[in-house]
Amino acid sequence: MILAHDLGTTGNKATLVDADGQLVDAVTEPYPVGFGPGGKAEQNPEDWWDAVCRASRRLAAVAAERGATIEGVSFSGQMMGAVAVGPDSRALRPAMIWADTRSVAQSASILERIGLEDAYRITGHRINATYTLSKIAWLRDNEPDVFARTTRVLLPKDYIVARLTGVQVTDPSDASGTNAYDQATGTWSAEVLDAADLPLGLLPEIQPSTTIAGLVTADAAVATGLPVGTPVVIGGGDGPMAALGAGIIDRSSGAYAYLGSSSWVSIADERPVHDPLMRSMTFNHVIPGMFVPTATMQAGGASLQWIVDVLSPTGPDRFAELLEQAGRPAAMDGLFFLPHLLGERSPYWNPRARAAFVGLLMHHGRGNMVRAVLEGVAFNLLTGLTAFREAGVEVGSVDTIGGASKSAALLQIFADVWDVTVSARTMRDEATSVGAAVVGGVGIGMFDDFSVAERWGRRDAAIAPDAEQRDGYRIRYEQFLDAYRRLEPWFESVSET
């Protein structure tokens, strides 16, 4: 059996998969996030390790009960973080995760030295405070004592791999989310690192996602319940891994949307897709030679969770309760929500952006506000689909994964706003960890190739756009974009005070 860990923002989801590709069992171990002023977003890497240990022990026991053994471990991980470690692979401070945007000044300095177009050409991404590179520079500038003791900066999943094996390594998919990776050469970019004034030696060696990084050590075996010597496959970043779990393995697979804390729309292609307006970015796929053009917003599912928390429904399914109150389209009544609760990546790449309700009137109530949040997420993701279409990529349908994709009402809004048929995948919550299981299985020779992913889930609940609503949303989408343009100078002025 393969044990796959999906090291997410709110918890670690571990999945046990057998040689036939059947999901045997799964468990989620939660952990907190620490948000603070100035764009702070941190997690304790020990919380990740404890969650991995608890989940591993539980699923190792399940495998033993079935008379089976865990033949390999693989990982998917939240991307764009920075874990400063010493020679013993122990964290020297809390991890700065993807949502941390304190390094605005550092990203601006790097960008000034290398230039916007050159950085995008090299890395497939804009230089931005959400990425690992500027976080390392922030650490150098603000915590010099910690930086002086740092021998390596790891990404979240790679930190756990190092704790299991003692080996510090990463893969192209995660490396491509650091702002320091050259997609043309498949190596760390000396040009970008020079612009950041950071040494190459701070970053780990890059190996294919299917590489066995090392074997479970004796100490790690005691902590996790895994046998000593169990192969540990590197795995990949959660975005490309989710694409694999959703069956997005080449251009013919279509597009998919992930509805998690951050949310994105994505495709697979044999080449990076460089948008002239730089609204989207391109990650390396976990499949060698493939890329995952993506448009990611910071607070997709997080916006939905926020409105649930703020309005505090009391039923057993709080999200479903609020959806029932959502009513008619809010945008048609002039009410919009700009979903920039954590700043924004696609399409604006503005860490100073803020969320806002625009157009509130006395008659607007809870249901109107909930509907506006749902539509705001859909509108924001539409900018990514628009970038793909303008780059010549045909997007005729979109599969969805993630917890929020369970809502037919939400999928209908997406179908109407995006003007495509929207389907949920049967493995909504497990797609990312299933992708990790596929990579792990290929890595240890259990599976012949990545195509096994296409058999593990199917499209379900296809929803076509409503023509009348679609036409109305086309007009309102332009007003949604205009609201951001008008507020952007105000975002800047607020951030400066």
Residues 449-488 have pLDDT tens digits of 888 777 766 677 789 999 999 999 999 999 999 999 999 9
Q: What is the DSSP letter of 168?
A: -
Whether residue 294 sits in one domain with residue 212: no
Q: How far apart are CA 356 and CA 451, in angstroms?
A: 43
Confidence band, pLDDT 50/70/90 cuts, at residue 322: confident
| Mean pLDDT (whole number) for 114-143 | 96
How many angstroms separate the first and last alpha carbons of the chain? 55
Q: Of 234, 261, 282, which residue sits at a domain end?
A: 234
What CATH number does residue 20 fall under?
3.30.420.40
User: Are 490 and 345 in a shared domain?
Assistant: yes
Per-residue pLDDT for 395 more than 90? Answer: no
**Parallel, antiparallel or unpaired: strands 263-266 and 95-96:** unpaired
Considering the domain boundaries, does residue 18 fall inside one? yes
Residue with tokens 């999906």: 6
The arithmetic mean of pLDDT across residues 385-414, rounded, is: 86
Is 161 within a domain? yes
**Domain ends where: 234, 263, 295?**
234
Query: Mean per-residue pLDDT for 141-158?
Result: 98
120 and 156 in a common domain: yes
User: Within this chain, do residues 206 and 255 fall inside the same structural domain, yes or no?
Assistant: no
pLDDT at 457: 63
Residue range 347-385, pLDDT digits in tens: 999 989 999 999 999 999 989 999 999 999 999 999 999
Axis crossing angle, helix 366-390 with helix 301-311, rounded to the nearest 10:
170
Average pLDDT over all residues of the chain: 92
State the pLDDT at residue 23.
Answer: 84
Cα–Cα distances (Å) from 184 to 240, 258, 270, in that order, read 18, 27, 12
- The boundaries of the domain holding residue 337 are 248-430+444-497
pTM over 0.75: yes
Residue 241 lies in a domain: no
Are residues 101 and 212 part of one domain? yes
Average pLDDT over residues 142-161: 98
Range picked from 318-322, 381-385, 404-408 for highest mean pLDDT: 381-385
Sign of CA dihedral 167, 172, 178, 181: positive
What is the average per-residue pLDDT within 383-408?
85
* pLDDT average, residue stretch 292-314: 90
349 in the same domain as 206: no
Q: Is the pLDDT of residue 229 over 60?
A: yes
438 within domain boundaries: no
- Report yes or no on 216 lying in a domain: yes
- 178 with 290, same domain? no
**Residue 78 above 80 pLDDT?**
yes
pLDDT at 251: 81
For the residues 28-44, what does the mean pLDDT come to?
Answer: 95
Q: Identify the band that residue 3 occupies on the pLDDT scale cut at 50, 70 and 90.
A: very high
Q: Which helix (H) or strand (E) holds 435?
A: helix 431-444
Domain count, the chain: 2
Q: Which of 167, 201, 234 is the last residue of a domain?
A: 234
Mean pLDDT of 108-125: 96
Whether 242 is in a domain gets the answer no
Same domain, residue pair 202 and 261:
no
Q: Do 27 and 126 fall within a single domain?
A: yes
Residue 437 lies in a domain: no
- pLDDT higher than 70, residue 497: no
Residues 189 and 334 in one domain: no
Q: Do both 195 and 281 map to the same domain?
A: no
pLDDT greater than 80 at residue 249: yes
Cβ 13 vs Cβ 28: under 8 Å: yes
155, 275: one domain: no
| Confidence grade of residue 173 (pLDDT, cut at 50, 70, 90) | very high
Judge whether 240 lies within some domain.
Answer: no
For 386-409, what is the mean pLDDT?
A: 84
